[in-house]
Amino acid sequence: MEIEGAVALVTGGANGLGLAIAKHLHARGARIAVLDRDESALALLPPDFDRQAIDVTDPALVGRAVATVMARLGQIDVLVNNAGVISSEPFVNVLRPAELMHNYDRFRRAIVDNLDSVFIVTAAVVEQMVLSRSPGVVVNISSISANGNEGQTAYSAAKAGVNALTVTWAKELGRWGIRCNAVAPGFIETDSTRQALSDETIKHVTSKTPLRRLGEADEVAQAVCAVVQNDFLNGVILDVDGGLTL
């Protein structure tokens, strides 16, 4: 799909990785719509970005938001499911004997934020693509944690689910000219990474990465553009991790 002139909807696009993706698509000529719950960050977006403050885990709100984007911009050609929250918690924490096992409510919250949101937004957008008989591209932002990352039970489960959705939808939606792929970043230099991981952990990860550094948000954005533009990529989980998972 040609990016120039396309309408791209980016969830969680007001900050960090999502903002880098939105700006990169915009620089390639796309019209951008952003859904994010951070109202203060939304206010700082470029003036020609369409924006809505919304919780993408609420199906009713998402349905109305997608309808609003369609009314304002006329179509949605590209969906980037970026919204999510890094969740780190050991399954067994011997340092917290009063709450030894992983908290179930926090597990559920991580699943809702990182997996349910992808289902909810994609269902609303794909419905519009199918009804309007328009081809489209869905790009899910996954993670190499989908392979199973120690200390990230909930996050790993959610991202593994995102990969499964990606492959399933690639098989189902191709008949309507809708492709679905995922980009799975490794450890990227963002505020959320710094907040979720200690300096010691980041140093360890860097030492295990063949390129000996964290990735840059723009490098993930470039990967998103690549899977949007290549019309024969479908059902691909593209790792962008500096070789960490080799």
Crossing angle for the helix pair 117-131 and 59-73, to the nearest 10 degrees: 40
Is residue 106 within 8 Å of 79, Cβ to Cβ? Answer: no
Is residue 240 within 8 Å of 182, Cβ to Cβ? Answer: no
The answer to whether 155 is a known catalytic residue is yes
Is residue 114 within 8 Å of 158, Cβ to Cβ? Answer: yes
CA distances to 3, 7, 81, 184, 227 from 137, in Å? 11, 11, 11, 16, 9
With CA atoms as reference, report the closest residue to 82 among 136, 39, 121, 127.
121
Crossing angle for the helix pair 153-173 and 117-131, to the nearest 10 degrees: 10
- Which residue of the set 17, 76, 146, 155 is catalytic? 155
Q: Are strands 50-53 and 178-185 parallel, antiparallel or unpaired?
A: unpaired
Is residue 135 within 8 Å of 88, Cβ to Cβ? Answer: no
Q: Report DSSP state, residue 97.
A: G
With CA atoms as reference, report the closest residue to 24 among 183, 186, 233.
183
Alpha-carbon span 83 to 9, nearest angstrom: 11
**80 bridge partner residues:** 10, 139
Alpha-carbon span 199 to 150, nearest angstrom: 17
Residues carrying an active site annotation: 155
